[in-house]
Every structure is written in C-alpha cells, then in structure tokens.
Amino acid sequence: MLAAEKLLELHDLPLGVETLRQWMIADGLWMRRKDRRPLVFQPRPRREYLGELVQIDGSEHWWFEDRGPQCTLLVFIDDVTSRLMELRLVETKAAFGYFQSTRVYSNGRSASGLAAHGKHACKLARGPVTFYSDKHSILRISKADAVQGRGMTQFGRALHDLNIDILCANTPQAKGRVERANKTLQDRLVKEFRLQGISSIEAGNAALPAFMAAYNARFAKVARDAWDMHRSVAGTDDLDTAFSWQEKRTVSGNLTLQYEKVLFLLRLRELTRSLARKRVKVHDFPDGRFEIRHQGMALPYLVSDKGRQVQQGSVVAHKNFGTDMTAIKVKQMR
C-alpha cells in the first residue's frame, strides 16, 4: 500500500499494511472491494432515423500486426442502424485525418466510402445532424478559459460551418455503439488484412470500401423509419475551405505577416493597400496549399524567404502529428 510506504519513507513510521488498512476503513478513507458498488450503465435507446446521430472515434491498434506500423482507424458509425458510414486509416488521431474522413463522408456517403459526387460537386454534399464523440482535444476544447477562435477546435469550427452539431460523451460507455464496433473491427479487420497480405496504410485504405460493404451487409440493422435525416450542408458550398486549417493574422504596416515561422509578403495591389494593421485569415489546406483571405477574397502574396517553407506537421498537437513522428523515426534510423 502506498500510504504505508510513504509513512515509512517520509516519517520513519513502520506500520503493517493490514493494520493501516483497517484504520483507514474505520475512518472512511478506504473502501473494501466487496463494499464498492459497481457503476451501472443502462443501455440508451437507439435514435430513430438514419443520419440523426453518427458516433465517431479513433481506434489506435496494430492493424497490420507485425507487418506494418501501428496506426489509427477513424470509425464513423450510424447510431440507429450500426452501419459503418466511413472508415479511414491514418497515422494518428489528428485534425487533417478527421477533415479528410468527414469530407469523404459528406461528399459521397456511399457504402463504398468513395466520394461519389466528385471533387467539385460540393453543392450536393450532405452531412448528418449530429456527431457523437469522446472529449479528445481535436474535437473539444477542454480548458474553460481557452481563447481559440470562437471557443471551438478547428474540427468543431469546420462542423459549425457545415451546420453539423457535435456532442461529447462523458464516458466510453455512453458511446458504446462505436466502442463495440472498434472491438469487432480489431478482430475482423486485422484478420482480413492478414489474409490479403496488407501491410501499409495506403493498401489498407484501398481495401476498406469492400470491407465496409461486407460488414454492413452482415451487421447493419434496418431503421424503424425509412426517413433519412442527412441534410445538405449549409453555410458554405466550398468543402475545401471548410476543411482547411484556419488562423487569423494581423498584417503589418509593410504588408507582411507570419505563419508558422515563415514570412509572407502581400503583393502591392489596390486590394491590399488598405490592409495594413487589419486582420486576415490564413487557410492551410491538407494538400499543402495556402491561401490568405480577407472578407472571403484571396490575396496575392509572396514567400519572403525562398529558402524556408511551411512545414505541414509543425503544429504537431493538432494537424499532422503522425507526419512529424514518422519523419523523426526515419531520421533517427538513418
């Protein structure tokens, strides 16, 4: 018992563990195992309609066993039908992974997980009413005094722009649908990858559509009501913009601004002359593109130092943690 160890270490009081335990029980400082009441989690009724509530989670696991790296599977599952809406393997739980998965979901929402409407068919994009997740920092700001944007994470801001709500569960049991799906996937998907000899994230993602179709045919339930509550996304018809990393910067008097230790110089144009000391927004896209916008208009710019480039993984806690960690491992191995 830790208390007995510390009493001896700090106060030179040699007390028997059982003696100290009985004293603590008498004073109400220790509860015997048989007296501890187990927590009871009663099952929550399923929602009524497809797309009303979609549970999301990231399951870190050795999906390729010893044939490949440990990685994370992002799982989107419908609450009423237990239907897999989207699966995607990523290096780790990061904002860009959720951006990409949610975009594929919104663009196609097909059983195969493919963007059925194509890259530019954004006006046809549809999303669920609500996502239900854990309290991961990508999905929820934990600190009450945090001052990031409008009190949202980047992923929360993207969902707000698309008129999709997000709720966070207090316990893993509250989102039991996706937790149970994770256990099933850790059994079935691992064996499927083994049978197909798959050992990389790229090959795994290529095999996921067929796996999803077979999984849903076997395990998905029929909703009591055929009504589909997926809605056309509102607030924007540009999914590229919605699923970009966005940060505001103040333009200096000589029309420059900094983002991730790189100096950007706004080209001198009629549009940019009046922007000194004003706020602009930097859009960092998952494919490596950058845009600087003011009131929705893209501004022409130059990178002041040609020898320096913005590193996609520099904000490791949020955007691309896995990318940085992989690069570090490769560098150390060399």
Helix and strand numbers, DSSP H then E, in the chain:
8, 14
Same domain, residue pair 125 and 99: yes
Same domain, residue pair 316 and 250: yes
Same domain, residue pair 260 and 190: no
What's the CA gap between 111 and 214, in Å, rounded?
A: 10
| pLDDT band with cut points at 50, 70 and 90 for residue 42 | low
- Residue 39 pLDDT more than 80? no
3-class DSSP state of 234: coil
- Whole-angstrom distance between the N-terminal and C-terminal Cα of the chain? 46
Could you give the dihedral angle defined by the CA atoms of residues 266, 272, 276 and 278, in that order, rounded to the nearest 10 degrees? Answer: -100
| pLDDT band with cut points at 50, 70 and 90 for residue 323 | low
Same domain, residue pair 29 and 92: no
What mean pLDDT is reported for the chain?
80
Q: What's the pTM? A: 0.71
Same domain, residue pair 26 and 101: no
- Residue 75 pLDDT more than 60? yes
Same domain, residue pair 71 and 216: yes
What's the CA gap between 119 and 238, in Å, rounded?
A: 10
What's the CA gap between 138 and 104, in Å, rounded?
A: 18
| pLDDT band with cut points at 50, 70 and 90 for residue 77 | very high
Domain end position, chosen among 232, 260, 279: 232
- Residue 70 pLDDT more than 50? yes
Averaged pLDDT for residues 103-110: 69
Domain end position, chosen among 232, 264, 283: 232
Contact 60, 70 (CB under 8 A): yes
Same domain, residue pair 26 and 100: no
Q: Is the dihedral of CA 18, 19, 23, 24 positive or negative?
A: negative
- Residue 216 pLDDT more than 90? yes
Same domain, residue pair 148 and 267: no
Segments forming the whole domain that contains residue 25: 2-35
Q: Is the dihedral of CA 157, 161, 162, 167 positive or negative?
A: positive
Could you give the dihedral angle defined by the CA atoms of residues 327, 329, 330 and 334, in that order, rounded to the nearest 10 degrees? Answer: 140
- Residue 137 pLDDT more than 80? no
Same domain, residue pair 146 and 58: yes
CB atoms within 10 A of CB 134: 20
Nearest Cα neighbor of 305 from 268, 245, 260, 253 is: 260
Please report whether residue 49 resides in a domain.
Answer: no
Tokens read off for 313: 């993984």
Please report whether residue 253 resides in a domain.
Answer: yes
Who's near 48: CB < 8 A, 6+ residues apart?
Answer: 80, 223, 224, 225
Total number of domains constituting the chain: 3
Please, what's the b/e burial string for 48-68 (b: 16 or more CB within 10 A of its CB; e: otherwise)? ebbbbbbbbbbbebebbeeeb
The pLDDT of residue 270: 85
The pLDDT of residue 125: 63
Check which CATH number belongs to the domain holding 207 and give it.
3.30.420.10
Least confident residue range of 67-71, 158-162, 216-220 = 158-162
Least confident residue range of 26-30, 151-155, 300-304 = 151-155
What are the start-end ranges of the E strands in the chain? 54-61, 71-78, 84-90, 126-127, 130-133, 165-168, 231-232, 245-250, 256-259, 262-266, 279-284, 290-294, 297-298, 301-303
